[in-house]
Amino acid sequence: MIVALLNQKGGVGKTTIALHLAGQWARQGRRTLLIDADPQGSALDWSQQRSHEQLPRLFGVVGLARDTLHREAPELARDVDHVVIDGPPRVAGLLRSALLAADLVIIPVQPSPLDGWASAEMLALLAEARMYRPGLTARFLLNRCTARTIIARDTGAALEAHDPPLLSTRIGQRVVYAGSAQTGRLAFECAPEGHAAAEIAALAAEIEAIRP
């Protein structure tokens, strides 16, 4: 399955969630490959940081920030169980290509009404991609939820009224995620019994159960 974390808005958690999702599947023994489709190469940086720290290799990371991604992805997906695409911000050509490469699109959004509106452009691109790929499945994912769930609930209600639907697993605002890009460590490596590790495991299971 090719899962793409996409939102043309930057800073919503695409890279953070892509790395953790790939890490979760890898530790479960799934053959996993992460495609860094962002010209900024944050996932590649993370992977280099891991080598510097001599941390064990969890999954392969390849940089493919070009608009031929949809033509190259099937070949890369052939020998693995899951491909996770860490999507680019803004660049419409790259975003289109990543959309066409995916079996399942996860759109991370932050729990504020503003973010709900900001993804309208993303939804337009999704609708366009579905003209070529009618079966393309998509879900919203609430990231950076806090204990003040009233905002999250409002956004959740607004998003549930839409297609794509909202995943029931929500990702919390947690220090352990904020440090992961710099340290090269994933949440389960810092706190195996923590809330983050548990919610990532739940997210990976919920996504696998969708089977587009």
Nearest by Cα to 171 from 127, 126, 140: 140
Report the site for Mg ion in 126-165 (rule: CB under 5 A). Answer: none
Q: Does 15 bind Mg ion (CB under 5 A)?
A: yes
Closest CB to ligand ADP among 8 and 97? 8
The 137-142 sheet, strands edge to edge: 60-63, 32-36, 82-86, 2-5, 104-109, 137-142
Among 14, 20, 70, 82, the residue binding ligand ADP under the rule CB under 6 A is: 14
For residue 59, the minimal CB distance to Mg ion (Å) is: 17
The angle subtended at Cα 176 by Cα 170 and Cα 179, nearest 5°, is 120
Helices then strands, counting H and E runs in the chain, come out as 11, 6
Q: Quick check: 181 binds ligand ADP (CB under 6 A)?
A: yes
Contact 86, 19 (CB under 8 A): yes
Binding residues for ligand ADP, rule CB under 6 A, total 17
Figure out which of the listed residues 9, 14, 50, 185 binds Mg ion, where binding follows CB under 5 A. Answer: 14
Kindly indicate which of the ranges 99-107, 131-139, 160-168, 171-179 contains the residues binding ligand ADP, using the contact rule CB under 6 A: 171-179
Kindly state whether residue 41 participates in binding Mg ion, applying the rule CB under 5 A: no
* Region label for 164, one of left (φ > 0), alpha (ψ between -120 and 50) or beta (otherwise): beta
C-alpha 169/C-alpha 129 separation (Å) is 25
- Considering only 2, 3, 12, 102, the residue that binds ligand ADP (CB under 6 A) is 12
Look at residue 155 and give the partner it binds from Mg ion, ligand ADP, none, a contact being a CB closer than 5 to 8 Å depending on partner kind: none
* Positions 113 through 152 that interact with ligand ADP (CB under 6 A): 143-144
Give me the count of residues in the chain: 212
- Out of 114, 124, 158, 178, the only residue in the binding site for ligand ADP (CB under 6 A) is 178
Token pair in block for residue 183:
């340290």
- Verify cis geometry, omega within 30 degrees of 0, for the bond prior to 212: no
User: Of the two residues 11 and 39, which places its CB atom closer to ligand ADP in the complex?
Assistant: 11
Contact set with Mg ion (CB under 5 A): 14-15, 42
Contact set with ligand ADP (CB under 6 A): 10-16, 42, 89, 143-144, 171, 173-174, 177-178, 181
